[in-house]
Amino acid sequence: MSAVPSLRHLLLLRPRLRFFALSTSSSPFLSYAPSHHFSPSSLRVLSSSSSPTLTQEEADEVVGKGSSLIDVNPPRGTRDFPPDDMRLRNWLFQNFREVSRILSFEEVDFPVLESEALFIRKAGEEITQQLYNFEDKGGRRVVLRPEITPSLARLVIKQGKSVSLPLKWFTIGQCWRYERMTRGRRREHYQWNMDIFGVSKVRGEAELIQAIVLLFERLGINSSDVGIRVSSRKVLQAVLQMYAIPENLFTQVCVIVDKLGKITREEIEKELLSLGVSIQAVNGIIEVLSLKSLSKLEEVLGSEEEAVSELKKLFSLAESYGYADWICFDASVVRGLAYYTGIVFEAFDREGKLRAICGGGRYDRLLSTFGSEDIPACGFGFGDAVIVELLKDKGLLPDLAHRVDDIVFPLDEVLDGTASRIASSLRKKGRSVDLVEDKRLKWVFKHAERIGASRLILVGNSEWERGAVRVKNLSTREEFEVKIDELV
Ligand code: HAM
């Protein structure tokens, strides 16, 4: 018996497995597949990371005693992309690309494997503790990148004076983080990034937020489903100045206070106190971070403060762009990455069920941490996992069934050459054609329905003698005899 169990074996031999196949859903892209029929893609639930793994006994039953089935699950926290999931992913990426094009960004790409040095930062960020890092065969320390921003910075430095500023780049790539998994958080995910280098004004952030809003709108999400919380790291900087906290503690303070709401206030206090921040300053910081109104912030920091004027400018630009109802000021947004220096933002679902949908901000001093001259920069990362969860919850997943234009089916084996010629000629004209052989006509009709074919082209002996084929229009059910050279 073959080592790979056939679908039929699984269905015939294991009724219990069949139940799992039809009812279990675990991948963020999963459950999109209609469950009323058992398509090959439904089989993937058997191999998804959280579905039950086959026991040895079950495996023996499927493949025959003596041989052992390898673990068909991808590594924990990672995903396979069977056709239904791949269609959904492509659809999402097309939307990412289209929005980037509309905003006049150019696409770039980087290796998933990067040198570890690019990601070594000392601020105690979670991301640096989640690295997939190892030594390659040449003894070099490398990582599977957890994010794309450092690679982007590396390329900007490498390109040097040859790039003309402002530079607007986008990329879509896989990132790896050894995460504790929750809904929408995985060990690998794809991130759409849009970044601008060379714009120091909040125009940069305003453009990025428009891109995010346009994306949501394209996906059918509106401002009552999702909001974008905005603040600025300069708020915290101003508070630290008020309490005369040394500048060199700024990044560490940011990373610690980003955990507000994730760990207890006592733990935050403990961490800040251990940095040497006074209890009065800790209370002051936490108080300011609870502000949700820009006018209150202005009262506390004064209208001269850069944080206040920049945020006010951003909110006034938001009115002009027409997305003011999407954004709100929330001083608690700090973001967990060390390099942010100014405005920071995160999109969230208003029902509060999911983790951040996307996030970004200004990072004007990242390049100097790599020994280069700084260039003002801002950007965001938008993952592929949380958004799919949200679309699922809102019933907004698109109908993306596999579609072909024509099925070409020779009714006699001797006509396989003719069928190949017909399929080839239609394909050269740009039609998608499935050439089917060795099946019963009944199966071919069912198959045509399943893949939504618009025409069935039957190549039969008697028609072929007249240089023709039978063409069945599957939507009107009409059937014609069509001369080969008239077939388009
Ligand atoms: P981040 O907030 O760490 O920022 O990630 C950005 C987005 O990536 C998150 O909002 C989420 O959509 C997605 N994401 C992150 N981790 C996971 C995970 N484990 N599973 C699924 N999705 C995830 C950054 O990475 C910054 N480099 C973004 C940036 C670009 N800032 C400026 N430019």
Distances (CA, A) of 390 to 24, 138, 360, 479: 19, 43, 19, 44
SS3 355: coil
Question: What pairs with residue 455 in β-bridges?
Answer: 406, 473
- Residue 412 confidence (pLDDT): 95
State the pairing for strand pair 106-107/167-176.
parallel
Residue in this structure with the two tokens 């492509």, named with its chain if needed: 90
State the average pLDDT over residues 182-203.
97
Q: State yes or no: 195 annotated in a binding site.
A: yes
Q: State yes or no: 484 annotated in a binding site.
A: no
Ligand 1 centroid to residue 383 C-alpha, Å:
6
Ligand 1 centroid to residue 358 C-alpha, Å:
6
- Residue 64 confidence (pLDDT): 53
Question: What is the CB < 6 Å shell around ligand 1?
Answer: 147, 149, 177, 179, 184-186, 189, 191, 193, 195, 337, 356-360, 379-383, 385-386
Q: Give the rounded distance of the alpha carbon of 366 from its chain centre.
A: 24
98 membership: H or E segment, kind and range: helix 83-102
Residue 81: which of 14, 174, 8, 182 has the closest Cα?
174
How are strands ordered across the β-sheet holding 343-349?
106-107, 167-176, 188-197, 377-383, 358-362, 343-349, 226-232, 327-329
Ligand 1 centroid to residue 243 C-alpha, Å:
32
**CB neighbour burial string for 222-250, b if at least 16 within 10 angstroms, e if fewer:** ebebbbbbbbbbbbbbbbbeeeebeeeeb
Q: Is 174 left (phi over 0), alpha (psi -120 to 50) or beta?
A: beta
- Residue 67 confidence (pLDDT): 80
- In the predicted structure, residue 217 carries a pLDDT above the cut 50: yes
194 and 95 Cβ atoms separated by less than 8 Å: no
Residue 389: which of 333, 339, 349 has the closest Cα?
349
Task: Give the residue, out of 145, 175, 333, with the most ligand 1 atoms within 8 A of its beta carbon, to mutate for a pocket test.
Answer: 175
- In the predicted structure, residue 45 carries a pLDDT above the cut 90: no
pLDDT one-digit tens code per residue, 222-252? 999 999 999 999 999 999 999 999 999 999 9
Ligand 1 centroid to residue 246 C-alpha, Å:
29
Q: State yes or no: 325 annotated in a binding site.
A: no
469 membership: H or E segment, kind and range: strand 468-473
Which atom of ligand 1 is nearest to 177's Cα? Answer: 19
Show the tokens assigned to 366.
Answer: 């990242």
Burial class (CB in 10 A: 0-12, 13-18, 19+), 192: buried
- Contacts of residue 469, defined as CB under 8 A and 6 or more positions apart, other chains included, come to 422, 457, 458, 459, 460, 463, 481, 482, 484, 487
Which atom of ligand 1 is nearest to 185's Cα? Answer: 20
Task: Give the residue, out of 186, 189, 357, with the most ligand 1 atoms within 8 A of its beta carbon, to mutate for a pocket test.
Answer: 189
- Residue 60 confidence (pLDDT): 52
112 and 141 Cβ atoms separated by less than 8 Å: no
Phi then psi for 88, rounded to 5 degrees? Answer: -65, -45
Question: Between residues 153 and 32, which one has the greater pLDDT?
Answer: 153
- In the predicted structure, residue 28 carries a pLDDT above the cut 80: no
Residue 442: which of 450, 434, 454 has the closest Cα?
450
- In the predicted structure, residue 61 carries a pLDDT above the cut 80: no
pLDDT band at 57 (very low <50, low <70, confident <90, very high): low
Is the Cα dihedral 327, 332, 338, 339 positive or negative?
positive
Helices (H), 363-433: 366-369, 385-393, 416-428
423 and 254 Cβ atoms separated by less than 8 Å: no
Question: Between residues 64 and 407, which one has the greater pLDDT?
Answer: 407
The HSE-up count of residue 225 (CA atoms within 13 Å, CB side) is: 17
**CB neighbour burial string for 306-345, b if at least 16 within 10 angstroms, e if fewer:** ebbebbbbbbebbeeeebeebbbbbbbbbbbbbbbbbbbb
Q: State yes or no: 32 annotated in a binding site.
A: no
Cα–Cα dist 380/428, whole Å: 41
pTM of the model: 0.87
- Residue 37 confidence (pLDDT): 32
Ligand 1 centroid to residue 7 C-alpha, Å:
37
State the average pLDDT over residues 461-473.
95
Cα–Cα dist 439/443, whole Å: 6
286 and 271 Cβ atoms separated by less than 8 Å: no
Ligand 1 centroid to residue 48 C-alpha, Å:
23
pLDDT band at 22 (very low <50, low <70, confident <90, very high): very low
Q: State yes or no: 210 annotated in a binding site.
A: no
pLDDT one-digit tens code per residue, 314-346? 999 999 999 999 999 999 999 999 999 999 999
- When the pLDDT of each residue in the chain is averaged and rounded to a whole number, the result is 89
Ligand 1 centroid to residue 381 C-alpha, Å:
5
State the average pLDDT over residues 388-398.
97
